């Protein structure tokens, strides 16, 4: 069923609003993805303050033009959807990548980050980077490891001394 002109204008308006608010965008191909799988991805993204929008490439081109962003969607293959990240630049890429590992029908086509179109390999590399919380946990672990080691060494001397005293007492 063909969309009316008013429906198309609403789609473009919604896309433009999302494009203006986004910190990053990931282009994904949803060709062959079942409705239930797309709903699962949509719900997962909603929890992370992200959003997925499915629209025709021509409508995306209009929205990009209105937002003064130069992206050629004709190079993107398949039925294209946009995954928007509003609070975190990495979450859309990370979530799309993790979802694409479980569902081979979802393919990452590229992304838009820091006012520049990024190729697939850059988006996948970005998705593989640990999250901020994981990196902070690793730093804390690296800093605290020597302290724990020193505490164990100091406790070892005391433990050995107590064992020697208990052996002397028993004899």
For 59, 80, 93, 112, the CA distances from 69, given in Å and listed in that order, are: 14, 17, 19, 10
Residues 35 and 55 in one domain: yes
Which residue range(s) make up the domain with 166? 131-171
pLDDT in tens, 71-89: 888 788 888 999 998 888 8
Q: How many domains does the chain have?
A: 2
Residues 116 and 140 in one domain: no
Residues 78 and 159 in one domain: no
Residues 9 and 50 in one domain: yes
What string of DSSP letters covers 99-150? Answer: HHHH-TT-EEEEEEETTEEE-HHHHHHHHHSPPHHHHHHHHHHHHHHHHHHH
Residues 115 and 91 in one domain: yes
Rounded to 5°, the CA angle 112-118-123 comes to 95
Residues 99 and 150 in one domain: no
Q: What is the pTM of this model?
A: 0.73
- In angstroms, rounded to a whole number, what is the distance separating the alpha carbons of residues 135 and 57? 37
pLDDT in tens, 22-71: 888 999 998 888 889 999 999 999 998 889 998 888 888 888 888 888 88
């Amino acid at each position: 069923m063909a969309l009316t002109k008013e429906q198309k204008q609403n789609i473009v308006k919604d896309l433009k609003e999302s494009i203006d608010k986004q910190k990053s965008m990931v282009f994904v191909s949803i060709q062959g993805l079942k409705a239930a799988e797309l709903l699962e991805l949509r719900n997962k993204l909603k929890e992370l303050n992200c959003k997925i929008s499915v629209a025709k490439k021509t409508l995306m081109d209009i929205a990009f033009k209105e937002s003064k962003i130069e992206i050629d969607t004709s190079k993107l293959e398949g039925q294209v959807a946009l995954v928007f990240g509003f609070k975190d630049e990495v979450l859309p890429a990370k979530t799309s990548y993790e979802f694409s590992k479980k569902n081979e029908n979802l393919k990452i086509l590229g992304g838009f980050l820091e006012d520049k179109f990024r190729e697939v390999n850059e988006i996948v590399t970005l998705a593989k980077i640990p999250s901020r919380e994981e990196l902070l946990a690793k730093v804390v672990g690296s800093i605290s490891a020597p302290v724990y080691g020193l505490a164990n060494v100091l406790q070892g001397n005391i433990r050995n001394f107590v064992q020697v005293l208990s052996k002397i007492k028993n004899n």
